[in-house]
Amino acid sequence: MANEFAARTSVEQVEEGAELAPKFDADGLIPAVTTAAQTGELLMVGYMNAEALRKTIETGEAHYWSRSRQVLWHKGATSGLVQKVVELMIDDDQDCVWLKVDVSGNGASCHVGYRTCFYRRVPLGAGSSKKLEFTESEKVFDPKVVYGDAPNPTKL
Amino acid sequence: MANEFAARTSVEQVEEGAELAPKFDADGLIPAVTTAAQTGELLMVGYMNAEALRKTIETGEAHYWSRSRQVLWHKGATSGLVQKVVELMIDDDQDCVWLKVDVSGNGASCHVGYRTCFYRRVPLGAGSSKKLEFTESEKVFDPKVVYGDAPNPTKL
């Protein structure tokens, strides 16, 4: 696919310019950090290829590239939990984007059924047990009901 | 280096368990999303190897792996802008961590001199110009003063 964004020609252009010149990695992907627009809570980190980024910009709804399923992924197409993009930001060297979104429905973003993918805390300190502490006690949906027998995207 | 974290043995263990069993990619890295604990603002996205993750846990200060310099990177060692980790979270499939940090000094986290690395907005909509809009108008420090003639980490 031809690169539909600006070519990267100088550090100054990339860092201080107004041209959208995203850097896709060797797999053609750029990481996308998605937070809840209202609360600032981190919901998920996904990846976009050029098509996913373009569709996100043009439709105002989050599109990702599913690395586990190897398909363009319109978030919410299965679960109904579409992410409406309130603001889309790009970082200094344009190798990462930040989506601030409103989530429809019950506000869940995690395939396990929690509100956010980040529901466990790692204890800190020199003597840390490294035993994870759950910060969400109840799931907001039942993944079996929502996804049926679709394969779990988690890879070992 | 031996993996000092738990082995990944099942989806249930990884998603619903209390063992810290992070997934490092082919380069031995896991992405780390860093937000300001007070405001929820996204400051940066970096990468950690196993040593950086362990040092972050043990010291409570953010350590990353610098992909451009290929060294363990104690954030703030050069600039003085150390990130104190208030809370460290890990996601469902344990392939991403989230650091909520307090930044010392002037609160800057971006090597270009802005407060956050995400200082430009991508306009949305079917007719988007894709011309970036700056959301920070002034730098909070002068990179030349802070970093001297150290090489710029941005790669084209």
**ipTM given for this complex:** 0.79
Interchain contact, A130 vs B60, CB within 8 Å? no
Of residues A59 and A155, more confidently modeled: A59
Residues of A in contact with B155 (CB under 8 A): 23, 93
Pairing of strands A120-121, A133-134: antiparallel
User: From the list B23, B60, B121, which residue is nearest A88 (CB)?
Assistant: B121
In this predicted structure, the answer to whether residue B105 has a pLDDT above a threshold of 70 is no
Mutate to test the interface with B, among A117, A133, A137, A139 (most CBs of B within 10 A): A117
Q: How confident is the model at residue A108 (pLDDT cuts 50, 70, 90)?
A: low
Q: Min CA distance, B117 vs chain A (Å)?
A: 5
In this predicted structure, the answer to whether residue B89 has a pLDDT above a threshold of 90 is yes
Interchain contact, A88 vs B124, CB within 8 Å? yes
Contact, B8 vs B15, CB < 8 A? no
Residues of B in contact with A154 (CB under 8 A): 11, 14-15, 92-93
pLDDT digits (tens, 9 = 90+) for B24-83: 999 999 999 999 998 888 988 999 999 999 999 999 999 999 998 999 999 988 878 899
Percent of chain A with pLDDT strictly greater than 90: 60
User: From the list A93, A117, A131, which residue is nearest B18 (CB)?
Assistant: A131
First to last CA, chain A: 31
Interchain contact, A117 vs B9, CB within 8 Å? no
Q: Which of A97, A93, A91, A92 is CA-nearest to residue A35?
A: A97
**Neighbour count for residue A137 (Cβ, 10 Å):** 7
Q: Residue B79: its pLDDT value, please?
A: 78
Interchain contact, B11 vs A124, CB within 8 Å? no
Contact, B93 vs B20, CB < 8 A? no
pLDDT digits (tens, 9 = 90+) for B124-147: 999 888 899 999 888 877 877 777
A69-78, A123-132, B92-101, B146-155: least confident range: B146-155
- To the nearest whole number, what is the mean pLDDT of chain A? 88
HSE of B34, CA atoms in CB hemisphere, 13 A: 29
Instruction: Tell me how many residue pairs between chain A and chain B have CB atoms under 8 A apart.
Output: 167
Of residues B88 and A40, more confidently modeled: B88
Contact, B123 vs B135, CB < 8 A? no
Closest chain A residue by Cα to residue B125: A58
DSSP symbol at B152 = P
Quick one: average pLDDT of A62-72?
94
Q: How far is residue B154's CA from residue A12's CA, in Å, rounded to a whole number?
A: 10
* Chain Cα centroid distance, residue A26: 19
User: From the list B92, B125, B154, which residue is nearest A92 (CB)?
Assistant: B154
Kindly tell me the burial class for residue B148, based on how many C-beta atoms sit within 10 Å of its own C-beta (0-12, 13-18, 19 or more): exposed
In this predicted structure, the answer to whether residue A1 has a pLDDT above a threshold of 50 is no
Interchain contact, B131 vs A18, CB within 8 Å? yes
In this predicted structure, the answer to whether residue A97 has a pLDDT above a threshold of 50 is yes
Interchain contact, A15 vs B41, CB within 8 Å? no
DSSP string, chain A: ----S-----HHHHHH-SB------TTS-EEEEEEETTT--EEEEEEE-HHHHHHHHHHSB-EEEETTTTEEEETTTTTS--EEEEEEEE-TTSS-EEEEEEEPTT----TTSSSSS--EE---STT---B-EES--S-SS-HHHHHTTPPP----
Q: Residue B78: its pLDDT value, please?
A: 80
Residues of A in contact with B14 (CB under 8 A): 154, 156
pLDDT digits (tens, 9 = 90+) for A123-147: 999 988 889 999 988 887 787 777 7
Contact, A5 vs B119, CB < 8 A? no
Of residues A28 and B2, more confidently modeled: A28
Going by C-beta distance under 8 Å and a sequence separation of 6 or more, which residues neighbour residue B137? none
Q: How far is residue B21's CA from residue B56's CA, in Å, rounded to a whole number?
A: 16
Place of tokens 């010392």: B104
Q: Residue B101: its pLDDT value, please?
A: 95
DSSP symbol at B104 = P
Quick one: average pLDDT of A70-88?
91
Q: How confident is the model at residue A41 (pLDDT cuts 50, 70, 90)?
A: confident
Residues of B in contact with A92 (CB under 8 A): 110-112, 114, 117, 119, 154
In this predicted structure, the answer to whether residue A99 has a pLDDT above a threshold of 70 is yes
Strand, helix or coil for residue B55: helix
DSSP symbol at B131 = B
CA distances from A74 to A62, A121, A124, A129, B85 (A): 7, 29, 36, 39, 33
